[in-house]
């Protein structure tokens, strides 16, 4: 509960309230008892007239327009890059501080890109817009931060196993529908993702850069890691893959430090790391799984082992799973709003 008097509590708006991230933003505000005077929900004209539950009431969803931000103090955007580019500057002009989930402003040098466990200081002196990082970036590097700080990670390689939820509510529905059709022996024409999704996996559905062969998701992870760690030297590579999991991303990560490091040291650092939970039980072969990460705040980390391909002893491999609708999107955005 807030210690602020009611007159100083903020009016909060969610843009994209009906989406996969939007409904989690509403839930996070409620569960964390975010101190607010009023919550206003916006989406496209398609959703005008719907209601969504918040704190025991049904709140109306309104169509977003240029007047939507009058009287709004904090605006949480999760309605795609185009909507953010058009409306976030209007929200700032109306006096609101924007926390944006899209990629529209992330690499703008004037816009802080923030993971509260890593770089809360980047919020200082913001110009009205704060960017929430890419979901894979948040989930992979939040556990790596304490290791980087103590032992300097020089190189980082990862392969991702990304769930349907990362592509929004319609992609989750496509996974459900196409799986049902597959099991019933029916044809299914995919509408959201570019390839058959049931019992299949494919390279991430973003454009591949013909010059370097990386897709947009992989390039986001590379660039955003450097910006959040404030380390232009760290070498990062990623292979991003969409897998037929409904919710929560997983990643296989190998990193190389400046000097030799042991799995025991990594385990000790992660045991004390905020926002992280160790799930590392070789005897039971029990390690992080999307099933266990779904609907939960912490990022699960396990399979911590020395990388045997590096005889110098400087490399460690591990496996993570995290709910990218929560820590990878809504929860991180609400944590930023709490800091504000
Ligand atoms: N899913 C993730 O894990 C994740 C993680 C990090 C960041 N993000 C980013 O968060 C944003 C939302 O993602 P999502 O997965 O929640 O997508 P989604 O499920 O497709 O939801 C999109 C939301 O945006 C609204 N919207 C679309 N066009 C609009 C417009 N012109 N004006 C106002 N509202 C509009 C939709 O409203 P209607 O229901 O009315 O269409 C809906 O509420 C994207 O920018 C995405 O890149 C997503």
Mean pLDDT of 131-139: 98
Question: Is residue 79 within 6 Å of ligand 1 at its C-beta?
Answer: yes
135 in catalytic set: yes
Buried b (16+ CB within 10 A) or exposed e, 139-173: bbbbbbbbbbeebebbbbbbebbbbbbbbbbebbe
Tell how far the Cα of 26 is from the centroid of ligand 1, in angstroms.
Answer: 14
Question: Is residue 140 within 6 Å of ligand 1 at its C-beta?
Answer: no
Q: Which of 135, 136, 240, 257 is catalytic?
A: 135
Q: Which atom in ligand 1 lies closest to the alpha carbon of residue 47?
A: 40
Predicted confidence at residue 1, as pLDDT, reads 44
Distance CA 61, CA 50 (A): 5
Question: Is residue 166 within 6 Å of ligand 1 at its C-beta?
Answer: yes
Nearest to 193 by CA among 167, 220, 157, 165: 167
Please write the tens of the pLDDT for every residue from 208-238: 999 999 999 999 999 999 999 999 999 999 9
What are the residues whose beta carbons fall under 8 Å from the beta carbon of 144, sequence distance 6 or more?
Answer: 153, 156, 253, 255
Extract the tokens encoding 19: 């989406």
Please write the tens of the pLDDT for every residue from 154-206: 999 999 999 999 999 999 999 999 999 999 999 999 999 999 999 999 999 99
Tell how far the Cα of 21 is from the centroid of ligand 1, in angstroms.
Answer: 7
Residue 7 in this model has a pLDDT that exceeds 80: no
Report the chain's mean pLDDT, rounded to a whole number: 97
Predicted confidence at residue 11, as pLDDT, reads 98
Predicted confidence at residue 8, as pLDDT, reads 87
Nearest to 156 by CA among 260, 263, 234, 255: 255
Tell how far the Cα of 109 is from the centroid of ligand 1, in angstroms.
Answer: 24
> Do the beta carbons of residue 15 and residue 75 sit within 8 Å?
yes
pTM attached to this predicted model? 0.95
């Amino acid at each position: 509960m807030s210690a602020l008097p009611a007159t100083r509590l903020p009016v909060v708006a969610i843009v994209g309230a009906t989406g996969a991230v939007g409904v989690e933003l509403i839930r996070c505000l409620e569960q964390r008892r975010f101190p607010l005077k009023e919550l206003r929900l916006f989406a496209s004209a398609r959703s005008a007239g719907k209601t969504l539950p918040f704190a025991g009431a049904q709140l109306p969803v309104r169509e977003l327009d240029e007047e939507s931000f009058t009287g709004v103090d904090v605006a949480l955007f999760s309605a795609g890059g185009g909507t953010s580019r058009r409306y976030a500057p209007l929200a700032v002009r109306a006096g609101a501080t924007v926390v944006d989930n899209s990629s529209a402003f992330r690499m703008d040098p004037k816009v802080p890109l923030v993971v509260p466990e890593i770089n809360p200081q980047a919020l200082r002196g913001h110009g009205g817009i704060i960017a929430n990082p890419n979901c894979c970036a948040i989930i992979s590097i939040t556990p790596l931060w304490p290791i980087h700080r103590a032992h300097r990670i020089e190189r980082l390689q990862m392969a991702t196993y990304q769930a349907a939820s990362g592509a929004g509510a319609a992609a989750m529905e496509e996974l459900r529908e196409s799986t049902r059709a597959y099991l019933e022996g029916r044809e299914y024409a995919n509408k959201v993702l570019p390839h058959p999704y049931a019992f299949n996996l494919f390279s991430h559905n973003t454009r591949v850069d013909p010059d370097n062969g990386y897709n947009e998701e992989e390039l986001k992870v590379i660039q955003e890691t450097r910006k959040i760690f404030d380390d232009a030297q760290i070498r990062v590579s990623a292979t991003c893959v969409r897998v037929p999991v409904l919710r929560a991303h997983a990643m296989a990560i190998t990193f190389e430090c400046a000097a030799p490091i042991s799995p025991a040291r990594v385990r000790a650092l992660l045991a004390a790391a905020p926002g992280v939970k160790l799930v590392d039980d070789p005897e039971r072969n029990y390690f992080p799984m999307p099933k266990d990460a779904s609907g939960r705040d912490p990022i699960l980390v396990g399979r911590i082992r020395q990388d045997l391909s590096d005889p110098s002893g400087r490399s460690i491999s591990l496996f993570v799973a995290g709910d990218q609708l929560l820590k990878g999107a809504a929860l991180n955005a609400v944590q930023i709003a709490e800091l504000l």
